[in-house]
């Protein structure tokens, strides 16, 4: 039997040690339950470590007849949260995932599940987009994939430069959607979800 990916008692002990290291008393009222709360939060934040995102895609894929797939599938506005592996601070954002069907499609609910599984681990935004794209390429074999992520990072808004109004946008494209013209068309369609023309 494989151990659970998150060892809650160990996290509790580590959080107590961090509180002591900053000069706090982990047993004082207000902090006495903090180690347990952090352990519970980490179990949720990192629940994707034992999820196979490719299998999520593969198990949802269904074949469809010629002419029934359409030219492009876009799921816009998928909210996600992740934890930056550099400072263990959260980043929150929106994912837009597009693919050009080949001979199969996936259930639309699969897209947010894949995004959540891959975001729920220590992450970098740049890698997250690449991993989402790769999961669809491997699990579905579409003609093309595009992933656009727009996120606000705690390490930018709460420390260092403290740029509370900035966000980071990353792109990952594969196959037909790596072509600059096709990619631009897909990005324009993604933008129409925000009330744009």
pLDDT, tens digit, 9 for 90 and up, residues 129-148 = 999 999 999 999 999 999 99
User: Residue 21 pLDDT more than 50?
Assistant: yes
Q: Compute the radius of gyration of the chain from its Cα atoms.
A: 20
User: Residue 181 pLDDT more than 60?
Assistant: yes
Distance CA 111, CA 105 (A): 11
Distance CA 115, CA 77 (A): 11
3-state secondary structure of 12: helix
Examine the residue annotation and report whether 84 is marked as an active-site residue of this protein: yes
Question: Residue 197: pLDDT band by 50, 70, 90 thresholds?
Answer: very low
User: Residue 195 pLDDT more than 50?
Assistant: no
CATH 3.30.1130.10 domain position(s) in the chain: 54-194
CATH number of the 8-44 domain: 1.10.286.10
Token pair, residue 4, equals: 């659970």
Q: What is the pLDDT of residue 124?
A: 97
Examine the residue annotation and report whether 163 is marked as an active-site residue of this protein: no
**Mean pLDDT of all residues in the chain?**
92
- Summarize pLDDT for 163-177 with one digit per residue, the tens: 888 999 999 999 999
Among 12, 84, 96, 131, the active-site one is: 84
- Summarize pLDDT for 59-116 with one digit per residue, the tens: 999 987 666 777 899 999 999 999 999 999 999 999 999 999 999 999 999 999 999 9
Q: Is the dihedral of CA 50, 55, 56, 57 positive or negative?
A: positive
Examine the residue annotation and report whether 96 is marked as an active-site residue of this protein: no
C-alpha distances (whole Å) from 86 to each of 83, 113, 122, 162 are 9, 24, 9, 16
Q: What is the pLDDT of residue 192?
A: 62
> What's the burial of 3, exposed, middle or buried (CB within 10 Å: 0-12/13-18/19+)?
exposed
Examine the residue annotation and report whether 130 is marked as an active-site residue of this protein: no
Angle, CA 37 vertex, CA 118 and CA 3 arms, to 5°? 55
Buried-state track 79-115, b at ≥16 Cβ within 10 A, e below 16: ebebbbeeeeebbebbbbbbbbbeebbbeeebbbbbb
Q: What residues pair up with 152 in beta bridges, in sequence order?
A: 92
User: Residue 153 pLDDT more than 50?
Assistant: yes
CATH number of the 54-194 domain: 3.30.1130.10
Examine the residue annotation and report whether 185 is marked as an active-site residue of this protein: no
Q: What is the pLDDT of residue 69?
A: 73
Among 17, 32, 55, 85, the active-site one is: 85
Examine the residue annotation and report whether 40 is marked as an active-site residue of this protein: no
Backbone angles phi, psi at 144, to 5 degrees: -170, 155
CATH 1.10.286.10 domain position(s) in the chain: 8-44
Among 32, 55, 86, 126, the active-site one is: 86
Alpha carbon 83 to chain centroid, angstroms:
9
């Amino acid at each position: 039997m494989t151990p659970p990916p998150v060892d809650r008692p160990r996290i509790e002990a580590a959080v107590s040690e961090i509180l002591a290291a900053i000069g706090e008393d982990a047993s004082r009222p207000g902090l006495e339950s903090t180690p347990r709360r952090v352990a519970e939060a980490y179990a949720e934040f990192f629940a994707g470590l034992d999820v196979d995102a490719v299998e999520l895609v593969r198990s949802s894929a269904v074949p469809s007849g010629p002419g029934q797939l359409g030219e492009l599938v876009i799921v816009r506005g998928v909210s996600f949260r992740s934890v930056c592996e550099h400072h263990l601070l959260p980043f929150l954002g929106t994912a837009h995932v597009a693919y050009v069907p080949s001979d199969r499609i996936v259930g639309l609910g699969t897209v947010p599940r894949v995004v959540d599984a891959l975001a729920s681990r220590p992450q970098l935004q740049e890698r997250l987009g690449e991993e989402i794209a790769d999961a669809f390429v491997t699990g579905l074999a579409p003609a093309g994939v595009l992933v656009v992520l727009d996120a606000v990072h705690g390490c930018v808004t709460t420390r260092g430069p403290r740029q509370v109004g900035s966000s980071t946008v990353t792109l990952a494209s594969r196959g037909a959607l790596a072509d600059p013209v096709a990619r631009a068309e897909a990005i324009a369609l993604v933008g129409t979800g925000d009330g744009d023309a």
